[in-house]
């Protein structure tokens, strides 16, 4: 009998990471406030793109190119910053529920926990960012069609420091309700 009590299930590192990423994606899908913040970047960019096209058609001589050359990236980055509350609240919610300690007792490694959270949040970040680039490519913005793949790669690389900075800021909050308002 003691032989069975001493056995601890030890899933592989890869299974631990993917389980935690799946848990994060399911957690994102259950929160309407997170979904609204997640839709924010492509929605704001789509509305902005429509406005830029309308303004660009008002000036057929090409004098309005500054509008989409400079303001589209600025407002797109601003919309990602506004939606960063999603990523800040992730670790705060886990800390509130004491989920991190429960997973550690269940045998999950710390690095698998954080890598899984990062992987899930990267997917949540990349989907709207890719939609943003695809919309800009569909409306044939100058320079986007040639480098769309590089832009998606840049956003994947950008997601690493962006998300870890949000996790660092998340350590300053005690409640998820205030962290998501950040």
Under the banding of pLDDT at 50, 70 and 90, the label for residue 71 is low
Cα–Cα distances (Å) from 92 to 30, 109, 174, 178, in that order, read: 16, 19, 7, 10
Q: Helix-strand-coil percent breakdown of the chain, rounded to 5?
A: 80, 0, 20
Tell me the C-alpha distance between 125 and 140, whole Å.
Answer: 23
- Check whether 64 has a pLDDT greater than 60: no
Neighbours of 13 (CB within 10 A): 13
Per-residue pLDDT, 146:
73
pTM above 0.85, yes or no: no
- Check whether 113 has a pLDDT greater than 80: yes
pLDDT 10s digits, 14-24: 888 888 888 88
Per-residue pLDDT, 135:
73
């Amino acid at each position: 009998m003691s032989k069975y009590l001493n056995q601890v299930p030890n899933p592989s590192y890869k299974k631990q990471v993917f389980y935690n990423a799946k848990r994060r994606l399911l957690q994102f899908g259950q929160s309407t406030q997170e979904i609204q913040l997640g839709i924010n970047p492509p929605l704001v960019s789509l509305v902005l793109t429509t406005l830029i096209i309308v303004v660009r058609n008002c000036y057929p001589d090409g004098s309005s190119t500054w509008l989409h050359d400079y303001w589209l990236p600025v407002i797109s980055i601003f919309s990602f910053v506004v939606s960063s509350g999603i990523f800040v609240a992730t670790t705060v919610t886990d800390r509130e529920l004491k989920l991190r300690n429960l997973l550690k007792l269940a045998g999950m490694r710390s690095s698998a926990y954080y890598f899984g959270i990062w992987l899930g949040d990267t997917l949540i970040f990349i989907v709207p960012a890719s939609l943003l680039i695809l919309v800009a490519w569909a409306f044939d913005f100058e320079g986007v069609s040639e480098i769309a793949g590089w832009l998606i790669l840049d956003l994947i690389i950008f997601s690493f420091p962006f998300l870890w900075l949000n996790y660092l800021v998340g350590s300053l909050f005690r409640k998820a309700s205030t962290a998501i308002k950040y």
